């Protein structure tokens, strides 16, 4: 609360400065007055000296009967009654000086009557005292002039002393009531700047600065409270940011576990450990349901017989498992718990989908192997079985020549069939043993083409414009197998010098072709009788596309595969 100002700095300064002005006016006024009254002092002294000289001359004139006596008397009276001497009748002239002047006038009148009567004895008796009186009058004038100057000096000294005293009082007041409080305010402001709000300015002066110090004390206390509140708020925000950072880090690390090529029990345990590391989570347990089998249960933290909190883990309404945990203080973030529930759901769903995909891929490959064995090697073995039956019948003949004639063609057919079956088996094994060591389709295709270049003298040009990220793993395998099989056929049968491999996409259609400049053929080989053609047609169908073979004798051959692009990278 503001207090009343008992003595304003402005009023104090004005009061004492007014005294300085008064003293200044006094000394200036008195100086002007002294100067004005002293303007004719020298002339008065000269006039008094002149009166003494003129009275001597008049006395001599009377004694010598000079004809100019009357003229000299007029001159004396002009001096005695002149304006300079009449100023001695002013009010500021001391009474003794004025009385001396009036006495001079009266004495002169008496002397003048004597002069007119020309009584020399009486004149001498009157003139001598009159001259001495003039000399005393002259001395009085000089003394009066000196006294005025002395008085002026004293007045000036007194006024100057008063001004100096007032200045000392003002300086002392300024030092004690203004400068010192300002220094204390400055030091207190520096303390507040350094964060030291426990300042209290005591002994306030009863002026505006005292009021300012009271306001400053209240302001520093309020700032201290605000700063303390701000520190608490900043600490709270920092704690929340630290928790948010920790949460983001834990979520990121947990999400990194989902990026593994194959999710294992160790990945689930790491995610559960991350969940248990959250602030406020004491213990956790995750249970994965396995229909028709023993489920998987993992623990993190201290184990409990019962958990106070649990949530179901499900995707698209399918129950995948349960997450149970126990909380402590401070309570964990509910949104973070919800995010971890989604992570566990996605991890379990991804792991199961991954296993299903692997199983389907394995079944597809097994079906492919079975069909190829049935279409190629099984037929050759059936043919060999028929030839063995014919050979057995031929062995029943009694005649050796007849036996040899009938057995030789069969043996030749058996030899040809065995060679064909062995060749088919090697091609199938080579096809099924192909693996993609590189995750990128372009790198895998380059590696396969480099292997094929080592097997032929023909120049193989590769132009791949497909984006690996847009191709699924199955699509990459089927395309590499198709390109490899078609290129091997060109190397073996086409007698080509140049082989071109192109992979690209245009208007949502993926086009792959293998083109050579070999001998070509008029009719394409049948799928049944040509090695590897069954697999090529089947792989094209799995891609959802078609396989085309264009060839003319001595015009080379072009094997084309086209199928609609699937940006999601999944096969229907």
Residue ranges of the domains in the chain?
Answer: 9-185, 241-351, 437-571
Q: Which residue has the higher pLDDT, 284 or 382?
A: 284
Which residues neighbour 369 within 8 Å (Cβ) at sequence distance 6 or greater? 428, 432
Pair of tokens at residue 261: 């090529």
CB 31 within 8 A of CB 152: yes
Q: What is the CA radius of gyration of the chain?
A: 68
For 347, residues 6+ apart whose C-beta sits below 8 A from its C-beta are 257, 258, 263, 267, 268, 271
* Secondary structure class of 549 (helix, strand, coil): strand
Write out 281-350 in H/E/C secondary structure. Answer: EEEEEEEECCCCCCCEEEEEECCCCCCCEEEEEEECCEEEEEEEEEECCCCCCHHHHHHHHHHHHHHHHH
CB 493 within 8 A of CB 533: no
The pLDDT of residue 401 is: 65
Residue 560 pLDDT more than 70?
yes
Range with lowest mean pLDDT among 151-160, 210-219, 368-377 = 368-377
Q: Which two tokens stand for residue 394?
A: 């031929």
Q: Coil, strand, or helix at residue 544? A: coil
pLDDT (mean) for 112-139:
73
Indicate if the pLDDT at residue 571 is higher than 50. no
Percent of the chain whose predicted confidence (pLDDT) is above 90: 6
The CATH code belonging to domain 437-571 is: 3.30.565.10
Measured between alpha carbons, how far is 289 from 487 in angstroms, rounded to an integer?
48
User: Does residue 546 register a pLDDT over 60?
Assistant: yes
- pLDDT at 173 exceeding the cut of 50: yes
Q: What is the pLDDT of residue 425?
A: 64
Q: What is the pLDDT of residues 392-412, one digit of tens each?
A: 666 665 566 666 666 677 677
- Which residue shows structure tokens 């004149």? 123
pTM reported for the whole predicted model = 0.40
Per-residue pLDDT, averaged over 427-439, amounts to: 55
Query: Pairing state of beta strands 498-506 and 459-464?
Result: parallel
Helix (H, G, I), strand (E, B) or coil at 545: coil
* pLDDT in the model for residue 512: 94
* CATH class given for the domain over 9-185: mainly alpha
> In degrees rounded to 5, what are phi and psi of residue 502?
-125, 135
Dihedral of alpha carbons 465, 468, 472, 478, sign: positive
E strand or H helix that includes residue 489 = helix 473-489
β-bridge pairing 318-327 and 281-288: antiparallel
pLDDT at 378: 60
**Average pLDDT, rounded, for the chain:** 78
E strand or H helix at 21, and its extent? helix 9-37
Min mean pLDDT across 91-95, 97-101, 205-209, 472-476 is at 205-209
Specify the higher pLDDT residue, 196 or 430.
196
* 371-375, 465-469, 474-478, 507-511: which is most confident: 507-511
What is the C-alpha to C-alpha distance for residues 272 and 283, in angstroms, rounded to an integer? 10
pLDDT-derived band at 367 (thresholds 50, 70, 90) equals: low
Reply yes or no on whether the pLDDT at 205 is more than 90. Answer: no
pLDDT tens for 490-535 read 998 888 899 999 999 888 899 999 999 999 887 655 443 454 677 7
Convert the pLDDT of each residue in 220-234 to its tens digit: 888 888 888 888 888
- The most confident of the ranges 147-156, 252-261, 432-441 is 147-156
pLDDT band at 119; cut points 50, 70, 90: low
Q: Which residue has the higher pLDDT, 246 or 309?
A: 309
Asked whether the beta carbons of 431 and 536 are under 8 A apart, the reply is: no
- pLDDT: which is higher, 340 or 355: 340
pLDDT band at 434 (very low <50, low <70, confident <90, very high): low
Neighbours of 278 (CB within 10 A): 21
178 pLDDT more than 60 = yes
Separation of alpha carbons 495 and 447, rounded Å: 23
| 322 vs 205, higher pLDDT | 322
User: What beta strand segments (E) does 157-294 contain?
Assistant: 281-288
What's residue 462's pLDDT? 92
Q: What is the pLDDT of residues 231-281, one digit of tens each?
A: 888 888 888 788 777 777 777 777 777 766 667 778 878 888 877 887 778
Q: Which helix (H) or strand (E) holds 113?
A: helix 95-117
Interval 21-37 mean pLDDT? 82
Of 519, 500, 521, residue with least CA distance to 511: 500
> Band of the pLDDT at 426, cuts 50, 70, 90?
low
* Assigned CATH topology for domain 241-351: Beta-Lactamase (3.30.450)
Q: How far apart are CA 208 and CA 91, in angstroms?
A: 51
- pLDDT recorded at residue 277: 80
Any residues with CB less than 8 A from the CB of 10 and at least 6 apart, and which? Answer: none
pLDDT at position 363, please?
62
Helix (H) or strand (E) holding 561: strand 557-564
CA distances from 555 to 268, 490, 519, 524, 561 (A): 60, 13, 6, 14, 20
The pLDDT score that the predictor gives to residue 433 is 53
Question: Which residues are paired to 310 by β-bridges?
Answer: 324
Q: What is the pLDDT of residue 327?
A: 83
Task: Write down the pLDDT at residue 493.
Answer: 85
Nearest to 283 by CA among 296, 298, 301, 265: 301
Say if CB 72 and CB 58 are below 8 A apart.
Answer: yes
What pLDDT score was predicted for residue 300? 86
Report the percent of the chain where pLDDT is more than 70: 78
Q: Which residues contact 138 (CB under 8 A, 6 or more apart)?
A: 45, 48, 49, 52
pLDDT band at 572 (very low <50, low <70, confident <90, very high): very low
Strand order in the sheet with 281-288: 296-301, 281-288, 318-327, 309-315
CB 31 within 8 A of CB 188: no
pLDDT value of position 528: 38
Residue predicted with more confidence, 423 or 74: 74
As a whole number, mean pLDDT of residues 94-118 equals: 78
Cα separation, 381 vs 377, in Å, equals: 6
Closest by Cα among 248, 320, 313, 324 to 285? 324
């Amino acid at each position: 609360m503001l207090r009343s100002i008992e003595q304003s700095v402005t009023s104090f300064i004005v009061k004492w400065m007014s005294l300085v002005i008064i003293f200044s006016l006094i000394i200036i006024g008195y100086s002007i007055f002294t100067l004005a009254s002293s303007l004719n002092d020298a002339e008065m002294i000269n006039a008094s000296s002149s009166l003494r000289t003129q009275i001597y001359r008049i006395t001599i004139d009377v004694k010598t009967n000079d004809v100019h006596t009357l003229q000299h008397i007029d001159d004396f009276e002009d001096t005695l009654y002149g304006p300079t001497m009449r100023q001695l009748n002013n009010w500021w002239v001391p009474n003794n000086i004025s009385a001396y002047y009036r006495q001079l006038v009266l004495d002169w009148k008496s002397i003048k009557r004597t002069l007119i009567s020309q009584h020399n004895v009486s004149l001498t008796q009157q003139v001598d005292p009159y001259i001495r009186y003039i000399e005393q009058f002259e001395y009085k004038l000089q003394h009066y002039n000196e006294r005025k100057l002395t008085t002026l000096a004293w007045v000036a000294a007194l006024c100057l002393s008063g001004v100096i005293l007032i200045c000392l009082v003002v300086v002392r007041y300024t030092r004690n009531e203004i400068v010192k409080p300002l220094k204390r305010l400055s030091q207190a402001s520096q303390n507040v700047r350094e964060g030291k709000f426990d300042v209290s300015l005591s002994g306030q002066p009863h002026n505006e600065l005292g009021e300012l110090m009271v306001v400053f004390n209240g302001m520093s206390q309020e700032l201290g409270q605000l700063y303390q509140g701000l520190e608490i708020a900043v600490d709270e925000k920092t704690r929340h940011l630290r928790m948010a950072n920790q949460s983001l880090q834990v979520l990121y690390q947990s999400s990194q576990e989902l990026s593994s090529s194959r999710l294992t029990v160790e990945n689930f345990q790491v995610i559960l450990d991350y969940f248990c590391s959250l602030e406020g989570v004491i213990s956790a347990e995750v249970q994965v349901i396995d229909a028709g089998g023993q489920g998987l249960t993992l623990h993190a933290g201290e184990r409990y017989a019962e958990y106070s909190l649990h949530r179901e883990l499900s995707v698209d309404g399918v129950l995948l498992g349960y997450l149970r945990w126990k909380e402590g203080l401070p309570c964990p973030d509910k949104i973070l718990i919800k995010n971890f529930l989604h992570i566990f759901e996605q991890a379990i769903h991804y792991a199961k989908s991954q296993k299903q995909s692997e199983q389907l891929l394995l079944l597809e490959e097994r079906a492919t192997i079975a069909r190829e064995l049935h279409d190629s090697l099984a037929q050759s073995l059936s043919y060999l079985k028929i030839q063995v039956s014919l050979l057995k019948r031929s062995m029943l003949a009694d005649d050796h020549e007849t036996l040899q004639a009938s057995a030789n063609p069969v043996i030749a057919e058996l030899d040809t069939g065995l060679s064909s079956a062995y060749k088919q088996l090697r091609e199938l094994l080579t096809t099924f043993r192909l693996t993609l060591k590189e995750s990128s389709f372009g790198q895998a295709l380059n590696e396969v083409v480099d292997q094929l270049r080592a097997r032929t003298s023909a120049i193989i040009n590769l132009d791949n414009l497909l984006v690996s990220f847009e191709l699924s793993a199955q699509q990459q395998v089927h395309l590499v197998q198709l390109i490899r099989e078609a290129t091997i056929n060109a190397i073996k049968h086409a007698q080509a010098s140049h082989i071109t491999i192109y992979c690209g996409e245009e208007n949502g259609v993926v086009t792959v072709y293998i083109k050579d400049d070999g001998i070509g053929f008029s009719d394409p080989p049948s799928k049944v009788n040509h090695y590897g053609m069954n697999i090529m047609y089947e792989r094209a169908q799995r891609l959802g596309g078609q396989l085309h073979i264009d060839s003319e004798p001595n015009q080379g051959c072009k094997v084309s595969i086209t199928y609609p692009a699937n940006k999601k990278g999944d096969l229907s």
